[in-house]
Amino acid sequence: MRRLPRRPAPPPWLGVLRRLLWPPPENRTRNRAYLLDRLIALPLLAAVAFATFGWAYADIRDDSTYIRTQLAPALGDLADARISLRIAQREAEVSLDAGRAIELSGLGPRYAARTGAATQDIARLSRGGAFGEAQRQELDVISGLIDGYEEWIAWARTNVGNPSLRNPSLSKAGLAYAQSMLCSEVTAEPATRRDAAYPPCGAARGVDATTVVDRIAALERDLRHRLTERSALGPGVLAAAAVSLVSFTLLVVGLWRTLVFLHRRMRIRASVPLLAAALPLLLVPWAVADGVRAWQAQRDAVPYARVLADRATPEKEVALDNDPLATPDPAAIRPTTERMEHTVRHGEFGSVGTVAGWLAPVGLVAGVIMGGTLHAYRREYLVVGRGGGGL
């Protein structure tokens, strides 16, 4: 008769792991052996479960805070700087088209306000925490280009208003060079009316990205990419969530089996210390709901970054300048930035987020309580066992 091949024996460590995580509660298990298994397994599971879950939960909450306080304002400032400079260029074109009348009217308050706003936006970005050292250096370059842009506009104005140097061709050349510092591949003639349509401001990439708008657009793309990464669950968070799920499941089942064991085999109706150590588990569902909601809010905030890049236009910002009390266009810079921040803020359960930093310490305390309680039970039965109780 043909014999079936024997199955290979499982490795010894697998039997030890199975005994620690899932010991049989039947009568063949001695009380002190069972308690020893629980003494090792439950505190370890509590520490692993709360530590991994706390890390994943804190990572999601940190992403929400970073998006709301850093990325969203930075994207709004970059869009505002880009649009403000284009509005300032229009003001310069219309004012310089007036010829000698610019001596009395100047470049206009809107030109000064918009160039000042762009300078403040860049300075605020340099002081903020959204960019690293390389991006801050790029912001310094942009700031220098804005200063150079203003100098060329001032030079063009000088050639319009100075009687000894007045030359319309020089003025137009200065205005054209200033425009070339601002945008790539602009072929439109200077505007003569403020309400004229704004021509496209081409943004080059790579080594050809040398103008102010090119560089601002590159920083915006970098922030949008970072926003997409921050709003996605990374492999570290997914791995920590999987480990914590398995650990919490084994911990809950292990606690329940231990309480049943104590009730049946040792006539302990309810172990108050173990029940108290299990109370932090009640916070976990709330933290899970808060984390899922925060993550969903992060994903909902991503489209607003695209709105700032594609739908925010000088026409919409000028309309707000002309009538500050009017209802702003939904795609304008300020309402879009505010909605992005509000979306992320709405994804938080408020005070629930404060438990993020306490989950790991609470888990360690709960594990210590479980270990101390089971050690006390085991020591008591060891004393009894020395008297011949057969425990």
Tally the domains of the chain: 1
Q: Which pLDDT score, from 0 to 100, does residue 11 have?
A: 56
Give the span between the Cα atoms of 269 and 44, in whole angstroms. Answer: 25
Residue 123 CB-half CA count within 13 A:
8
Is 2 contained in some domain? Answer: no
Nearest CA-CA partner of 75 in 302, 351, 285, 368: 302
Give the span between the Cα atoms of 116 and 53, in whole angstroms. Answer: 47
Is 263 contained in some domain? Answer: yes
Q: Which pLDDT score, from 0 to 100, does residue 13 have?
A: 44
Q: Which pLDDT score, from 0 to 100, does residue 295 have?
A: 93
Give the pLDDT of the chain (391 residues) as one tens digit per residue.
455 555 555 555 455 555 555 555 554 456 677 777 888 888 999 999 999 999 999 899 899 999 999 999 999 999 999 999 999 999 988 888 776 666 556 677 889 999 999 999 999 999 988 898 999 999 999 999 999 999 998 888 877 755 555 555 666 778 888 888 998 877 667 777 888 888 888 667 777 778 999 999 999 999 999 999 999 998 999 999 999 999 999 999 889 888 888 877 777 777 888 888 888 898 888 888 888 999 999 999 999 999 999 899 999 999 888 887 778 888 899 999 999 999 998 887 666 666 666 878 888 898 899 988 888 877 766 554 444 444 4
Which residue reads 């006539």 in tokens?
267
Q: Which pLDDT score, from 0 to 100, does residue 183 have?
A: 87
Contacts 24+ apart (CB under 8 A), 239-247: 240/52, 240/53, 240/55, 240/56, 240/59, 241/52, 241/53, 241/56, 243/48, 243/52, 244/48, 244/49, 244/50, 244/52, 244/53, 244/56, 247/45, 247/48, 247/49, 247/52
Give the span between the Cα atoms of 81 and 86, in whole angstroms. Answer: 9
Residues facing residue 184 across a β-bridge: 202
Helix/strand/coil for 71: helix
Q: Which pLDDT score, from 0 to 100, does residue 384 have?
A: 47
Cα angle 34-35-41, degrees, rounded to a multiple of 5:
90
Is 7 contained in some domain? Answer: no
Is 115 contained in some domain? Answer: yes
**Where would I find the H helices in the chain?**
12-21, 31-66, 72-97, 102-105, 109-127, 133-161, 168-182, 212-230, 235-265, 272-278, 283-310, 314-322, 333-346, 359-384
Q: Which pLDDT score, from 0 to 100, does residue 23 have?
A: 58
Q: Which pLDDT score, from 0 to 100, does residue 60 have?
A: 92
Q: Which pLDDT score, from 0 to 100, does residue 70 have?
A: 94
Q: Which pLDDT score, from 0 to 100, does residue 20 have?
A: 54
Is 13 contained in some domain? Answer: no
Is 220 contained in some domain? Answer: yes
Which DSSP category does 23 fall into? -
Residues facing residue 202 across a β-bridge: 184
Within 10 angstroms of residue 368's Cβ, the number of other Cβ atoms is 14
| Domain coverage including residue 357 | 34-381
Is 14 contained in some domain? Answer: no
Is 336 contained in some domain? Answer: yes
